[in-house]
Structure 1
Amino acid sequence: MENTIGILGAGAMGTLFAARLARIGLDVTMVDVNDELLQALRRDGARCHADEGLLQAPVRAARAEQLEAGPALWLVFTKSAHTRSALQGIAHLIGPDTHFLSLQNGIGHADVLRELVPAQRVAVGVTTWPARVISPGEVSSLGQGGIRFMPLDGVPGAVFERLASDLNRAGMHCRIDPQVQEAIWEKLAFNAAFNGVCALTRQPVDGLATPMGEGLLQRVLAEVLAVAHAHGVAASAERVNAAVRDALAHHRGHQPSMLQDLLAGRATETGAIHGAVLQVADRLGIAVPVTRTLYELVSLSGHAGAIAPR
């Protein structure tokens, strides 16, 4: 079972990871509820247009109920609002050695995962790889990224160490990081800014490379980082700003997931991103007017995901 891996959620990020991991020889099983998508994956494999060209590799693709046995390691890429139902769908595949890594946007996923497996078999983290769906089972991922994660109990163990090694063999720049909560909040700040502003302006990432666009991004970043610091997480403004500069310069034409969702008429993750910041900010008594406005505007679009903050 060491060369097998499951991917829960076959959207942009799930397909990106599937293509790269299957290409290095791992047996990848992708689970989703979209039959057209699953059919395309079975027919053509997972396809990713990357800086080095087209990455394409065969994968298994099925609905959860079609599987009688599953991998002992799963990457979770479902939308935040669907995490619990997706995990319940594969509950019959979860055994005493099943491990999970969530690289989902937002925060709070660990609590849902711990309802099914103990902390030592759950890891959470972030990825900065860009990905955009072109067609079912086919994504574009131009530009570079990285992955940082850490098991909840603070002890990597053989399963997660092997996963990090596999991700690095796949060229995905992964490291196990004890300071992953800082990375999670830094990614949350990055996502709150780019996802919210790009979604509402209908601009790709590099479309915000103007004084007005960058000024708005900076106001969101400042609010989220202030909440993180008050929450006891030493998120780095320097690292976030470096990531912003890199995205503006190199993620040309990239549409963040929230913009992709709005354009496709799907539910967004504003609840797990902006809403999550608001929940902590309200509890700590911190004003975050720009973040709140982004949340309300995306919500008013009629495609808000997750539960609204109090």
Structure 2
Amino acid sequence: MAAPPCWHILGFGAIGRLWACHLARAGVSVSPVLHSAERLRTYPGHVTLCTDAGEAHFTLPGELATANTPIQQLLVATKSYATEAALAGVAQRLAPKAPIVLLHNGLGPQQRVADAFAEHPVYAGTTTEGAYRDGGERLVHAGRGSSFFGPLNARARETGEAALEPLLTLPLEAHYDPAILHRLWQKLAINAAINGLTAVHDCANGELARHPEYREAMAQLCQETEELACRLGQPLFETPLFDQALKVAEATARNYSSMLQDVRGGRPTEIDAINGYLCREAERQGLALPAHQRLLEAVRARHPNHHGD
């Protein structure tokens, strides 16, 4: 029996590493695509996955975008603002009809990639898995969650879930959802209510639920998001968005959002693909979202060299 095709991973942060380790554990060949020759020089070629069950070590040889091996399957786990440039860097290596799976926060890049790579099955994913890097090449799988993947373009809808079988059969709770856009909107709505506020107030998620001023700000954001979603005919949740956002903030009370971590680390944030996306969609509808606009500008001010979507 032939070995399964290699999965190339673009974006080798916590989530990219988590999926890479689990694919390797399942016997699938994995190649991280690293962003620079310096990073490749310092990368030891392995990752240690730390879970409640202990530590496991995986050999994951890295390569550069300029390598000449064809890419048969590609998982893109970059930040939203880096997705399109990262894909452009490996586009010439994509085998015909190679599936592309996008796994990042926000909305905007997914639709553009689906259009630009129409000859490839393009899928999007969303996950609530919790993982973080603990220095060097150690990865801590801090919280079990669930993931959903689904088609973004016609080619992916024709291909169906067969292309994603290696991702869906791992010991991570992952499912195929033909209506993935609904899942992406739900994740976007929650992130837009939580991440930016934690970045501005430099607080853990749970503080948003406990602090009256922060709760009120979250309620305003949720109200505006629901108004836009209604205008677009985009369903969100069966219960009010604010209730859902509070539930997530309380369930992840000790967590620090990725956006806050980016602000603390002096890195660009994904605010333009989250609250910024909502503001742009609202403008197309002739709708004002003042709470989202204020938050967008406040987060941008913390990183003047932000990346637009």
TM-score bin (small chain) = 0.7 to 0.9
Q: CA deviation at 1:133?
A: 2.9
Q: Give the match for residue 140 of structure 1.
A: 140
Q: Identity over the aligned pairs, expressed in percent? A: 27
- Establish whether residue 128 from structure 1 lines up as the match of residue 128 from structure 2: yes
Moved more, 8-17 or 233-242: 233-242
Equivalent residue pairs, number: 304
| Aligned ranges 1:153-302 → 2 under 5 Å | 153=154, 155=157, 157=159, 160-163=161-164, 165-212=165-212, 213-236=214-237, 238=239, 244=245, 247-302=248-303
Q: CA deviation at 1:236?
A: 1.4
Q: CA deviation at 1:186?
A: 0.9
Q: Give the match for residue 107 of structure 2.
A: 107
Secondary structure at 2:157's aligned position in 1? Answer: coil
Moved more, 212-221 or 145-154: 212-221
Task: Work out whether residues 33 and 63 of structure 1, in 8 Å CA contact, stay in contact via their aligned partners in 2.
Answer: yes
Q: CA deviation at 1:52?
A: 4.3
Moved more, 12-21 or 184-193: 12-21
Moved more, 189-198 or 136-145: 136-145
Task: Work out whether residues 73 and 98 of structure 1, in 8 Å CA contact, stay in contact via their aligned partners in 2.
Answer: yes
Once residues 41 and 140 of structure 2 are traced to their aligned partners in structure 1, the CA distance between those partners, rounded to angstroms, is: 19
Task: Work out whether residues 269 and 304 of structure 1, in 8 Å CA contact, stay in contact via their aligned partners in 2.
Answer: no
Q: CA deviation at 1:37?
A: 5.2
Once residues 250 and 51 of structure 2 are traced to their aligned partners in structure 1, the CA distance between those partners, rounded to angstroms, is: 17
Change (3 A) 1:64 1:226: same
Q: CA deviation at 1:261?
A: 0.9
Change (3 A) 1:42 1:255: same
Question: When the two structures are superposed, what TM-score results if normalisation uses the length of structure 2?
Answer: 0.86
Change (3 A) 1:304 1:125: farther
Higher-Rg member (1/2):
2
Deviations 1:155-208 (A, max 9, x none): 2626x4352x43343222222212211111111111112210111111122333
Deviations 1:243-276 (A, max 9, x none): 6455434435322211111111111111111111
CA RMSD of aligned residues (A): 2.7
The amino acid across from 2:137 in the alignment is G
Secondary structure at 1:31's aligned position in 2? Answer: strand
The amino acid across from 2:157 in the alignment is V
Q: CA deviation at 1:60?
A: 2.1
Q: CA deviation at 1:59?
A: 1.1
The amino acid across from 2:206 in the alignment is D
Secondary structure at 1:170's aligned position in 2? Answer: coil
Once residues 240 and 14 of structure 1 are traced to their aligned partners in structure 2, the CA distance between those partners, rounded to angstroms, is: 29
The amino acid across from 1:208 in the alignment is L
The amino acid across from 1:121 in the alignment is P
Gaps of 5+ in 1: none
- Establish whether residue 20 from structure 1 lines up as the match of residue 22 from structure 2: yes
Task: Work out whether residues 132 and 255 of structure 1, in 8 Å CA contact, stay in contact via their aligned partners in 2.
Answer: no
